[in-house]
Amino acid sequence: MEHYFTNNENLKSEIRDINFSFGAYNFLFKSDNGVFSKDKIDYASLFLVKTFLNNKKCVNSILDIGCGYGFIGITLSKILQVHVDMSDINKRAVHLTEMNIKENQVDAKVMESNIYENITAKYDLIITNPPIRAGKEVLKEFIYGGLAKLNKDGEIWFVLSKDKGAKSMKKELDNVGTCTLVAKSKGFWVISLKNS
Ligand SMILES: C[S@@+](CC[C@H](N)C(=O)[O-])C[C@H]1O[C@@H](n2cnc3c(N)ncnc32)[C@H](O)[C@@H]1O
C-alpha cells in the first residue's frame, strides 16, 4: 500500500492549487498526488498553527519537520516574519515546498531528510504534524530526536489525535521534559515539550 511518505516516482503528477486565507494573509499552495492532504489544508495542521499563534512565544528560528507541501512552515514564516527550515522524506513534498516558498515569497529553506538525519542546526521552535502512519518508532524519533535539536529554552510543538497516541505520548513525555497539553479540538491535542 502506498503512503504519503513513500517516494513513488511513477505516480502520475497532477499539480493543483490550494488557496488559503488566514486573517489578512493569502496563500497559494501547490499540491500533488502522493503527498499528505493533497486537496485541502489539514484540519490538525491548521489547529496546530492557530494554537501556536494564539500562545505565541518569541522565536527566531523554526524547523517544520515532515513539512509536506509546506503549509505549517510557510504560514508561520509569513506571519511571524522569521526564517523557517523545512524537511521531509518525500521528494515530491520537498519539490512542492520549494515551489511554495517562491510562490508565497517567504524566507525559508527546504531539505530532504529522513527524520533529523540531515538537520545540523538548532532551533527555538520545532513544529510538526508527525506521520502517525509511519509507526510508533518514527513518531517517537520525531519528538525525542527533536530535543537534541533545540536551542536553550526551545520547544517542540506537535499535534496528535488523542486516540492515536496523544494520550500515551503525553504520559510518557511527562517523564522526559516539561510537557504541556496546550489545546484540544475535535479529538486532536496540541502538545508542547521542552528540555527541563
Ligand atoms: C501528517 S503529514 C504532515 C504534512 C504537513 N506538515 C502538513 O501539515 O500538511 C507528515 C509528513 O511527514 C513526512 N514523513 C514521513 N516519514 C518521515 C520521515 N521518516 N522523515 C521525514 N519526514 C517524514 C511525510 O512525508 C508527511 O509529509
DSSP secondary structure string, 102-165? HHHT-SEEEEE-STTTT--S-EEEEEE---GGG-HHHHHHHHHHHHTTEEEEEEEEEEEEGGGT
Name the residue at shortest CA distance from atom 6 of ligand 1.
Answer: 67
pLDDT > 80? residue 119: yes
The cell numbers describing 9, all together, are: 516516482
What's the 113 CA to ligand 1 centre distance in angstroms? Answer: 10
- Residue to mutate (ligand 1; options 88, 119, 128; most atoms within 8 A of CB): 88
Tens-place pLDDT, residues 180-196: 999 999 999 999 999 99
Smallest CA-to-CA distance from 127 within 83, 67, 178 is with 67
Please compute the mean of the pLDDT values over residues 145-173 and round it to a whole number: 95
What's the 29 CA to ligand 1 centre distance in angstroms? Answer: 16
Q: What is the pLDDT of residue 23?
A: 94
What's the 146 CA to ligand 1 centre distance in angstroms? Answer: 14
- Residue to mutate (ligand 1; options 2, 3, 4; most atoms within 8 A of CB): 4
Please compute the mean of the pLDDT values over residues 128-149 and round it to a whole number: 95
Pocket lining for ligand 1, CB < 6 angstroms: 4-5, 36-37, 42, 45, 66-68, 71-72, 88-90, 93, 113-115, 129, 131, 134, 138
Please compute the mean of the pLDDT values over residues 99-128 and round it to a whole number: 98
Q: What is the pLDDT of residue 142?
A: 97
What's the 88 CA to ligand 1 centre distance in angstroms? Answer: 6
Q: What is the pLDDT of residue 169?
A: 93
Q: What is the pLDDT of residue 2?
A: 61
Name the residue at shortest CA distance from atom 3 of ligand 1.
Answer: 129
18: pLDDT confidence band, cut at 50, 70 and 90?
very high
Q: What is the pLDDT of residue 39?
A: 98
Q: What is the pLDDT of residue 5?
A: 66
Domains identified in the chain and CATH numbers: 16-194 (3.40.50.150)
Please compute the mean of the pLDDT values over residues 156-183 and round it to a whole number: 95
Question: Is 188 in a helix, a strand, or coil?
Answer: strand
Tens-place pLDDT, residues 47-96: 999 999 999 779 999 999 999 999 999 999 999 999 999 999 999 999 99
